[in-house]
Amino acid sequence: MAHFAEIDVNNLVTRVLAIDQENVDTGRWGTPSTWIKTSYNTRGGKHYGQDGLEDSGVALRKNYAGEGYTYDEIRDAFISPKPYTSWTLDDATCQWEAPVVYPSDDKIYTWNETDGAWDAVPE
């Protein structure tokens, strides 16, 4: 079994299922053209093993699809919804990036769109 994302006429992912290629090809779950294969081991254009570490596996469509994602035919990539207005899409990874780099200390932060900065979460 593999994971497939069903997309609508606007290339929005409506659902992701683990189904056999044969069921996609025969139209059991809808027209074959509305299903695109995705891999839960792919993030940011890299493949990750079961241990969570990057490995030499083949990355598939930049990111694992999720409901509400968009399939970009030109990039052959699944792209998550834009989280904040100020964030931009990294063309290499097809992931959204904040205009300010996430701090590298051991604290947890949340994005503050009003101030355009990372706010530390109180412990």
Residue type, 55: D
Instruction: Check: pTM over 0.85? Answer yes or no.
Output: yes
Give me 89's structure tokens: 């899409």
Helices (H), 40-123: none
Q: What is the pLDDT of residue 123?
A: 85
Residue 32: pLDDT band (50, 70, 90) is low
pLDDT in tens, 52-105: 999 999 999 999 999 999 999 999 999 999 999 999 999 999 999 999 999 999
Domain segments of the chain: what residues?
1-81, 83-123
CB 45 within 8 A of CB 72: no
Q: Could you tell me which residues come within 8 angstroms of residue 104 by beta carbon, excluding any fewer than 6 positions away?
A: none
